[in-house]
Each structure stands twice: as structure tokens, then as C-alpha cells.
Amino acid sequence: MTQHYFTPTPQAASRPRTVRVRLRGRSFTFLTDRGVFARERVDPGTRLLAETMEVPQEGRILDLGCGYGVLGLVAASLAPRARVVLVDVNRRAVELARDNARINGLANVEVHWGDGLEPVRGQAFRLILCNPPYRAGKEVVHRLLDEAFAHLEPGGRLLVVGRTRQGVLSLLRWMQERWGTARELARGGGYRVVEATAPGAPQAPSHMGSPPVT
């Protein structure tokens, strides 16, 4: 069987490489490796979400299924007073994300290994970002998003990106039926960003980060 990037311990021999990219008007350097998602470049879906997400300036932010850390580290750079937590089931990705937080000089970051929300069980987040592992199957994706929504603060937001051809519109309909609040926020390059908002008022005023750079 082909081993996917959501495997806890990749068996592919390590061959690190460096990816340099500009997101939100800022330059980032990411160390990547075999056995992690999008090792050659920042994938278009992650880029779309990174360029369009609104980031609260305070509180806790989660990058669920962080890979080598692109979304969480961009969020941390936009909101230095926030605490950004990155989680992934792939041990190699977790180590890369830790290295990348250091490489990019981001101290408001913590990175944990574990399945789904298990490493942050009981914590609440103002914003959760996720580019789900669609190849793991619908059941896995739905479980991850159910767990994520349950970990939002009142008024907190879950942002999910997906490829139109991989069924993100059916995922949007599932989110709408499940929670009643989901909507499309952005689209481009065959990808869409969708958002679901937890019921209740935010616990504190949310000051957003820099506007997207187009």
C-alpha cells in the first residue's frame, strides 16, 4: 500500500529540502522532507487559505494537521500576541514544524504530535485552521472537523480549505447540515475556503490581522 503523509511514522528515507515563499507580504523559509504533504512547494489550497484568513490578534489559534507548519506559522507572524498551536499525526511533520518556527523566529508557537485534537483535549480556540487529509477518506475528515468544531470558543471560527474536484462543496453542505453556520469565504485556482462559526458571542473583541495581499 502507498504510504500517505498522514502516516504517524513515515518510512521514506529523509531528504530535507528548503522552500522559500512569500505569503501575506512576508518572506518565509520552510524546511520540508519526504513523507510530508506538499514537500516541493506550498500547495495552492494552503496558499489560498493563508492569503485570505482573518487572524485574531489575541487568544488561541490551532493549525490542525499542520504539516511542516505553513498555516500556523503565517498566523503566528500576523498575530504575535496570540498563542498558536500546531498539531499533526505525522512525527516528521511535527519536527519540521518545530524547526520552521525557529527558522522564522516565531516564539508564540507550540507544536504537538498526536491524532486529531487529542494533544489539545479540553482546550478552546478562537480560530482553527485546517487543510484536511482528504485522501484519508471522508470518515477521517468528518471526525477531524467534528472534533475541531467542538473545540471552538463561543463565536470561534473553523476555516477549512479543499479542492473543488475533491468534493469540498459536498463537505460544505455537510458542515451546513451539521452546524448550520457554514459558508464559502474564498475561491481560486480550483480551491475553496469555507468557514463554520460556533454559536455564541466571542469571549473578547477580535482584532483582525493584516488584510490579505492579492
The pLDDT of residue 209 is 45
Contact yes or no for 70/108 (Cβ under 8 A): no
Is 212 within a domain? no
What is the residue range of 45's domain?
17-197
The pLDDT of residue 208 is 42
In the chain, which ranges are E strands? 17-23, 26-32, 60-64, 83-88, 109-113, 125-130, 152-163, 183-188, 191-197
Is 5 within a domain? no
Is 9 within a domain? no
Residue of 7, 49, 1 whose CA lies nearest to 157: 49
Provide the residue count of the chain.
Answer: 214
Is 47 within a domain? yes
Is 89 within a domain? yes
Give 52-75 pLDDT, tens digit per residue.
999 999 999 999 999 999 999 999
The pLDDT of residue 210 is 41
Is 3 within a domain? no
DSSP 8-state class, residue 144: H
Q: Domain of 85: which CATH number? A: 3.40.50.150
The pLDDT of residue 14 is 86
Give 142-181 pLDDT, tens digit per residue.
999 999 999 999 999 999 999 998 889 999 999 999 999 8
Q: Which residues of the chain have pLDDT under 50?
A: 1-3, 205-214
